[in-house]
Structure 1
């Protein structure tokens, strides 16, 4: 039989269950623990929940947690996103949900993951964070680039355009950036920005300008549509006028896009 409790007794018991461990708890789990009806607990939570306990509404099940712990998670989410913006001020994106899981720790179970989702939704509702390109960013985050920095971005992009079918060494990139009076930290930010703008590809730690990657992709697709046997690295090299290194990098890129697939020593279209 279900236990009948007064509101004061229920408040004391719920507070004890939540406070005795700094972990979230689904409301339906609490009803099983206390042998109290779900309707009674739900009504109590709606009207008389203690101030030091927070309830998050969730599609899978409402979640109870000590307010100190939920506040800690909120602050850690904001700190993690803020740090990402400071590291990459030219990047529109923030942190993915998977990356934010580090706030709660790995393999904590479904209730922790649902709690994290609920807290993110709360912060979004409060206009503290927002979703941008499947990531969470601070609502206040804006990319601001002055003319001097725009000029530096343009110079770096032009530098990679001039490499054409060559893949520069990291030392070459750093040397040329220094000659352009671009500091190493600025260079990192610019490279990330150009990648985000789809003007530069990073393939296996190598950078190639998007105009090369896109033009070679089109040439490869046209060739493969005419040749069901596919192309070897050497044949692709002759097709685009590149070297073996860039051909292998481009094949790796197109494989990762799901465009091509390896068949022996040849690449064929994954979907004809």
Structure 2
């Protein structure tokens, strides 16, 4: 059965709380000060059963202008509003501000209760009804019923309930398949139970015992107990008022405005890209870098408005902006928010979130405006492609994209599958994770890598390529090695590069010696073969070579890379044939003896003690021999 949340709105002392008591029999004012003063200061909560059998949660909001902050914390999760207008006073300033807020939040369903109707005559009542119709003209309440009520005499209460019941069937059901999200509007502790938070479950499903996360602190906890309408439940669903008993949290660690959600399902940030709409009756324009109060979910955050298209947004105008915040926000794409002036505190507008983790935007950039327009109006596939065009450099997994882009996982899966089949996006699988990239990013990466490798091959034509670690460091920074390996493998499949034994080169590159280089190679090989186990130092090879010194160096390095010359130490290189011969001799020695010392090996190799020690240490490193004090034994 669909869950419904009903909220009240309207001017102070117009009878919202009294009306709820008439409907439910319950008192929503809980604070001592509220009862003493006879006005609501904070949010009140209760529930009642509709004639159809649906159980509706009720959020009662304060009407005083000083408590708009509290009112805003309550209306974000409502499905239907009961706008309360007192018949003896009519439409008042706070009624209008509440209606503006509801319109900005895009609440779609509501009804108007004309309270205290027994206190005025028929003529006055008709006049107030006409005035109310005029005031709500052009809003979502334009054609809604206006029902005269007397809460004390129970006049019109049954009719109001009947109309609410009829409207509930028109309410769009909330998404229960996405990860749950619960903005916290109340925190308290109960002796023997610990910390309890309440809020409206705006999407998803929450289970008892589930591991969950508190945002923006991103601390994990568990659901010890769940209650919906004062009853213990194992599961709560979107559209229900929920009380959650949390493990390992003190009351002081949680604030109204924090959000409970599935672990790692949300992002927090200090900047968001938005589409702003200024109220037509806003008393002020918004200037660039204006300091404002942002109300999102149950939170209030201070920040500045950076206008991206103009220097000033006038009443009634819309525009794209970046909100740069003084505290972290936990939002999703297409969430609604309200803006109030910093001082004086009046509601001036609101809007929707377009990007929850944007880069710092530059103003008056056509490409930025185009990107935000697409996010506001575009088809899901185009939104994803545009998002990847901007953020592929961040190496995002599918799960991270879900958090950032605000699309349900099932829809994103469908879009990814469709776009991948047309090569409009690229998926790189790493274990059970999928990294998603825009083809332009991969193409640009491949182009940059080709340019770098070409320059390397031009300078070092006798080297087979660049070490993979150097490519990782130059092109991928701190990214995880596994996804880099898969991405390099993808580029190899596309014949951009080739990879062999940890060396990366252009696909078409092959080492080719010129005739003069071939001659130098033969000269060097002959020299090292002739000198055997008393080889020359490298610098002796190119000493006095004049203009060809660089060629000698390059050919020498190539012979080492090709393993024609074996590097024993930084200064000692031996021809591979000589190196292999001495290993054969050493193995024959171990056929008759269990060990060998330096002096014996020196005589066996027919070399000096210096070269004998260097060779034995090299054999130790290559695990041919093992040193035990002053002797070596053959490794098995």
TM-score above 0.5, yes or no = yes
| Alpha-carbon distance in 1 for matches of 2:500, 2:388 | 38
Partner of residue 44, structure 1: 415
- Aligned equivalents of 2:392, 2:487: Cα separation in 1: 19
Cα distance, 1:71 vs structure 2: 4.3
- Counterpart CA distance in 1 for 2:498 and 2:539 is 38
The TM-score with structure 2 as length reference comes to: 0.37
Match for residue 447 of structure 2?
A: 75
1:159 and 1:20, CA in 2 relative to 1: closer, same or farther beyond 3 A? closer
Residues 77, 103 of structure 1: 8 Å contact kept: no
Contact 1:95 1:135 (8 Å CA) reproduced: yes
The 2-side partners of 1:175 and 1:65 are apart by 52
The equivalent residue for 2:510 is 142
Deviations 1:173-211 (A, max 9, x none): 2226x2xx7722111221122223332112222221122
The higher radius of gyration belongs to 2
Equivalent residues in 2 for 1:13-162, closer than 5 Å:
15-16=386-387, 19=390, 22-32=393-403, 36-48=407-419, 54-60=425-431, 61-65=433-437, 69-91=441-463, 93-106=464-477, 108-110=478-480, 113-162=481-530
Aligned mates of 1:41, 1:74 — CA distance in 2: 27
Shift, 1:29, TM fit: 2.7
Matched, 1:2 2:208: no
Q: Distance in 1 between matches of 2:378 and 2:550?
A: 59
d(CA) in 1 for partners of 2:388, 2:494: 29
Deviation for aligned residue 1:159: 1.4
- Specify every segment of 5 or more residues in structure 1 that has no aligned partner in the other structure, as ranges: none
Gap change, CA 1:183 and 1:40, over 3 Å in 2: same
Tell me if the contact between 1:56 and 1:118 (Cα under 8 Å) persists in the aligned partners. no
**Cα shift readout 1:56-114 (whole Å, capped 9, x = no counterpart):** 332432212456654443234223433442343123x32343332113454x243xx34
8 A contact 1:152–1:182 mirrored in 2:
no
Say how many residue pairs are matched. Answer: 261
Which segment is superposed worse, 61-70 or 206-215? 61-70
Q: Which residue of 2 aligns with 1:197?
A: 562
- Pick one of 146, 154, 165 that aligns with 2:533: 165
How does the TM-score come out when normalised to structure 1?
0.80
C-alpha distance 20-56 of structure 1, shift in aligned 2 (>3 A): closer
Identify which of structures 1 and 2 has the higher relative contact order when contacts are C-alpha pairs closer than 8 Å and 6+ apart: 1
**Are the structure 2 counterparts of residues 84 and 13 from structure 1 closer, same or farther at C-alpha, using a change threshold of 3 Å?**
closer
Aligned to 2:596: 231
Deviation sequence 1:115-163 (CA, Å, 0-9, x none)? 4334323322322212334422211112222333212211111111222
User: Using the alignment, how far apart are the partners of 1:37 and 1:225 within structure 2?
Assistant: 71
Tell me the distance in 1 between the aligned counterparts of 2:474 and 2:563: 30
2:617 counterpart residue number = 252
Contact 2:541 2:552 in 1 (8 A): no
Is there any run of 5+ residues in structure 2 with no aligned partner, and where? Answer: 1-175, 179-202, 204-333, 335-376
- Contact persistence 1:55–1:62 (CA under 8 A): no
Identify the structure with the greater helix proportion: 1
Cα distance, 1:103–1:46 mapped onto 2, change above 3 Å? farther
Deviations 1:201-255 (A, max 9, x none): 1222222112221111111122123222x21211110111110111122112212
Between 194-203 and 113-122, report the one with greater CA deviation. Answer: 113-122
- Contact in 1 for aligned 2:396/2:435 (Cα 8 Å): yes
Compare 119-128 and 259-268 and name the one that shifted more. 119-128
Q: 1:222 aligns with which of 568, 588, 597?
A: 588
SS of the residue corresponding to residue 58 of structure 1 reads strand
